[in-house]
Structure 1
Amino acid sequence: MKALLSGALMEGPRGRRIAYALLLVAPALFATNILVARATADFIPPVALAFWRWFLVLLLLLPLCGADLWRQRWAALAEWRSLLLLGTLGMGICGAFVYIGADTTSATNIGLIYAASPVFIGLFAALFFGERLGAPQIAGAACALAGVVVLVCRGDPDVLLGLRFVVGDLWIATSALCWAVYSVVLRYVPSRLDGMTRFAAICLCGVAVLLPGHLWEAMAVGLPSLDRRTVGFVLLIALVAGFAAYQVYGLIQRSLGAARAGLLMYLIPLYNAGLAVLLLDEQLQRYHLLGAALVVPGLLLANAWPQRRAARP
């Protein structure tokens, strides 16, 4: 397990096969974040949810790679700028801003805004690090994006015409943009730490960034109740949407690149709809099938041709 999580098994053709399989798993892990955010909005403050999510992930990581992190502490200190940036973006902003924005905006707006993050990931990767997607990949991404629009609009074009943007959308847009930057920095900024140890260092930075906001929020609105319901949801979001989702995403990036890994974001609304049908007794609708009919072939097309990299000047 440590070999897989550290990325040792992600090299070569075998690693790519593993990455493609994980590409279908990761969206389900990330989708639990949206479900938990909806379920806990009334009794867990947003920054508290983000802080305890990542604090528990850090506690989970320490038995696995705490000794390695201590042995490589000087290498980690030498990379403190990039680690702090990743912790601020991936755990601080992407951790808390979605929960804050969800208080005042709709699920439709969140889905549409976050659908832009793979576009930004591909753009940043191409502009700053020479990663390129050819015409088939662009066509596949466009097809998948169309499927996401169908899903979040529930197959009704009038939903787009009736959209009203509120302050919560600014929180979500900031989070989506920071997720794109996080993804590209994680993939292309070099590190002397192995994947799992680097992730632990990033979590440590993220917890440190979230702590002041958590303390301020606790003084302003109070702490969440320490009951079975709260503990259960925090454990779920930490284990699934924190530890598992981010580890799997990092492994996919290591093998397929930032742009292709970012395309999995298009599957999250599809998985979220499926989980809602299974867990929340929602009904399967025609727009679910139409969205799936666009998203899945789009992702297959986007990953059907070898990735090309632009020549460096």
Structure 2
Amino acid sequence: MQREKLIPLWAFMLPLGAILIWSLNIVVTRYISDYISPVSISFYRWFFAFIILTPFMLLKVLKQRKEIKPNLKKLAVLSAFGMVMYQGIAYTAAHYTTATNMGIINAFIPVFTIVVSFFILKDRPSIFAILGSVISLCGLIYVVSRGNLSTLWESGGHLGDALMLCAVFFYAFYGVFLKKWQIKLPLLVSLYIQIIFAVIYHLPLITYFGLDHLNHQNISSILYAGIFPSIISPFLWMMAVQQIGPSRTSIFMNLMPIFTAIIAVIWLDEKWTVYHTVGGICILVGILLAQKQKVRYTINKKLA
């Protein structure tokens, strides 16, 4: 009987560090929204990430250009969904909602991924996935309505939450396309090519909307966004997947709304309320339940 490989304790610090960085980035996104436009911060983030990675990645990309070329269209689509639409809309949402709400809505990515997977990958959800999605949706509605469902119909009151939902929906497409295509490239090479496309996509946007200047109020946040959540977190996450596996790693995503809320309360003086607690618990319970995929919502052919 083969023994299960013992996972070192330090390996669990990898996804924890990645989630902490991403959570802090949500709060940074909310903080910097008062000092720079969404298009500008999004462009600067990926431009600085490109500048930092180029000395390490350029030769590798040139050597693997034959393997990269057939995947360029797919990498362009991934960049559009994951780096431009998701992150750009999230930066816009930060002008109209709290970092706490952004963190909670961001935790809804696994549920949206189940829905998108059904239509694109024809991946039928299990009973657990359906039930978990419904519970998470109820929790999300409770948070967005601030504990009062009648407020959902107030005009303009939840623009930021609605935008963040759109951003999360686009990121779900990113994850599903990533799974569908299974691009056979080193992860850092794939990340670097997507960053290049992200910079290119932003050129017409900054031409139309303009580019804000860097100053003492926004430079530190931009550098943080360009280095930590754009490069270090993905690297830590990839190492975690190798060390402890994708399933165990994905569970750590459920800590993001908690970390985000704690940081937002300390830094931005945001308030954690009862509706955040009730709705957040519903969302997390639903997500954990949705990850159970053993019982399928189909009839076993052997019993037919």
User: Is the TM value for this pair above 0.5?
Assistant: yes
C-alpha separation between the residues in 1 aligned to 2:163 and 2:125? 29
Pairwise CA distance, 1:198: 0.7
> Against the structure 1 CA distance between its residues 281 and 115, is the aligned structure 2 distance closer, same or farther, given a 3 Å change threshold?
closer
Pairwise CA distance, 1:166: 8.2
| Matched AA of 2:64 | Q
Provide the residue aligned with 2:281 in structure 1: 293
> Which whole-Å deviations, capped at 9, do the CAs of 1:158-179 have from their partners, x for residues lacking one?
4334354788788656534322
Q: 1:192 aligns with which of 184, 187, 191?
A: 184
> Which whole-Å deviations, capped at 9, do the CAs of 1:69-107 have from their partners, x for residues lacking one?
22111221221111111122222222323323544x445
Provide the residue aligned with 2:199 in structure 1: 207
C-alpha separation between the residues in 2 aligned to 1:210 and 1:253? 31
> Against the structure 1 CA distance between its residues 21 and 186, is the aligned structure 2 distance closer, same or farther, given a 3 Å change threshold?
farther
Contact kept? 2:125, 2:293, Cα under 8 Å? no
Matches within 5 A, 1:1-313: 27-103=19-95, 105-107=96-98, 117-162=109-154, 164=156, 172=164, 174-218=166-210, 223-224=212-213, 226-247=214-235, 256=246, 264=253, 268-306=256-294
**What are the ranges of 5 or more consecutive residues in structure 1 without an aligned counterpart?**
1-11
| Matched AA of 1:193 | L
Moved more, 61-70 or 192-201: 61-70
> Against the structure 1 CA distance between its residues 116 and 198, is the aligned structure 2 distance closer, same or farther, given a 3 Å change threshold?
same
Contact kept? 2:26, 2:102, Cα under 8 Å? no
> Against the structure 1 CA distance between its residues 234 and 32, is the aligned structure 2 distance closer, same or farther, given a 3 Å change threshold?
same
| Matched AA of 1:281 | D
State the Cα RMSD in Å. 4.0
Contact kept? 1:49, 1:234, Cα under 8 Å? yes
Pairwise CA distance, 1:195: 1.3
Partner SS state of residue 31, structure 1: helix
| Matched AA of 2:290 | A
Partner SS state of residue 227, structure 1: coil
Pairwise CA distance, 1:55: 1.5
| Matched AA of 2:173 | V
Pairwise CA distance, 1:186: 1.6
C-alpha separation between the residues in 1 aligned to 2:165 and 2:290? 25
> Against the structure 1 CA distance between its residues 171 and 303, is the aligned structure 2 distance closer, same or farther, given a 3 Å change threshold?
closer
Contact kept? 1:93, 1:178, Cα under 8 Å? yes
> Which whole-Å deviations, capped at 9, do the CAs of 1:236-292 have from their partners, x for residues lacking one?
2223332244456677899548xx95994x764444322212322334433333234
C-alpha separation between the residues in 2 aligned to 1:136 and 1:13? 29
Pairwise CA distance, 1:57: 1.9
Contact kept? 2:16, 2:252, Cα under 8 Å? no
| Number of residue-to-residue matches in the alignment | 290
> Against the structure 1 CA distance between its residues 215 and 271, is the aligned structure 2 distance closer, same or farther, given a 3 Å change threshold?
same
Question: If the length of structure 2 is used for normalisation, what is the TM-score?
Answer: 0.74
Question: If the length of structure 1 is used for normalisation, what is the TM-score?
Answer: 0.73
> Which whole-Å deviations, capped at 9, do the CAs of 1:179-208 have from their partners, x for residues lacking one?
222111122213231111111111111111
